[in-house]
Amino acid sequence: MKQEDAIFVAGHRGLVGSAILEELRTQGYYNIITRTRSELDLSDMNSVDTFFAKTRPKYVFVAAAKVGGILANNTYRADFLYQNLAIQNAIIYSAYKYNVTKLLFLGSSCIYPKLAPQPIPESALLTSALEYTNEPYAIAKIAGLKLCESFALQYGCNFISVMPTNLYGENDNFNLETSHVLPALLRKIHLAKLLQIGDIKAIESDVQKSGKELMSFLDTFGITKDRVCVWGSGEVRREFLHTKDMARASVFVMQSIDFPMLATLAVQEGTNTNKESQEVRNTHLNIGYGSDITIRELAEQIRSIVGFKGELYFDISKPDGTPQKLMDSSKINALGWRAQITLEEGIKQVYARYCAATLG
């Protein structure tokens, strides 16, 4: 990948896409193509086709997706399945049609079975049932992975898929109705701290509500000056990777790894189910931090960083999700990439950025 090559980053305003965009610019790539949602509907096949015909990118990062936490995934099941299928189908097919040199598709650790072995190897894909709450999103991502793999096998396309663990970063979604666990806990505990110190103006600025409407909002999400409600038992385990590390991994893969290499590794490592026929399966790469913690430990760590002196209350009536999701990232580690940002360091960075954005 040369610095002057045309590179399309789909989803450049999102959590991962924005980090990839920043990493590319840091490394000196300057011919980067982006489009906002109002400029290009990525779920519209005809619009995407026209875009590829005009811009002719050589490299494509597919970071665009409809994403959310447990509540959003379980509530908007049809939207998560249909919209993600539409987006990835349009981009991947157009990349094939217009002879894109290389494409990187970003999936999610939720593609793996609910009770997958830990740490989860790439070969665990499709071995048992998915977690129900995010099944539609997971199915869409599995379809995208298989679409890339199939275009590579049938047409020789250099289309690669990477499966990141739970991501967080400085451009995260802090909407308490749709956010993932880490940004949701960070914002809830931050608001509780503001309540505790009596900074109502800061809370009103953050929530954009006042009076009874403000108190109703806080009550809905279990936020008081004395305690914060955390969904679930707190005992499930999660692995977290900063988006800066994910961006470095994505650019590294695009620069250094090609599909034939991954296909060869899949056969050599026995991830195919039938060695005699040399079936090529599970050519995707896991990308993780390398260790996990419980949600209780995560909440406690955030409480310490934020400086909240109250209690954490775990609501066991709420879903926990998959018991554990620790990725086996040994394959990409062996190929030359490792995470660099510790969870504590990463949370401090995100919290500092959040405070700067909300408090001015």
Output the six-digit token pair for 26.
């840091």
Residues near 45 by Cβ (< 8 Å), separated by ≥ 6?
86, 89, 90, 93, 94
Sheet arrangement for strand 324-325 = 293-294, 237-238, 324-325
Nearest to 228 by CA among 255, 188, 196: 188
The Cβ of residue 143 has, within 10 Å, a number of other Cβ atoms equal to: 17
- Give the burial class of 70: count Cβ atoms within 10 A of its Cβ; 0-12 exposed, 13-18 middle, 19 or more buried: buried
Q: Is 175 left (phi over 0), alpha (psi -120 to 50) or beta?
A: beta
From CA 291, how far away is CA 166, in angstroms rounded? Answer: 12
Q: Residue 229: what are its φ and ψ, rounded to 5°?
A: -85, 130
Output the six-digit token pair for 286.
């896991």
From CA 40, how far away is CA 47, in angstroms rounded? Answer: 7
From CA 21, how far away is CA 15, in angstroms rounded? Answer: 11
Length of the chain: 360
What string of DSSP letters covers 102-128?
Answer: EEEEE--GGGS-TT--SSBPGGGTTSS
Output the six-digit token pair for 300.
């406690």
HEC profile for 256-286? Answer: HCCHHHHHHHHHHCCCCCCHHHCCCCCCCEE
Active site residue 313: no
- Coil vs helix vs strand at 217: helix
Q: Which of 137, 289, 351, 354 is catalytic?
A: 137
Q: Are 172 and 302 in contact (CB under 8 A)?
A: no
Residues serving a catalytic function are 137
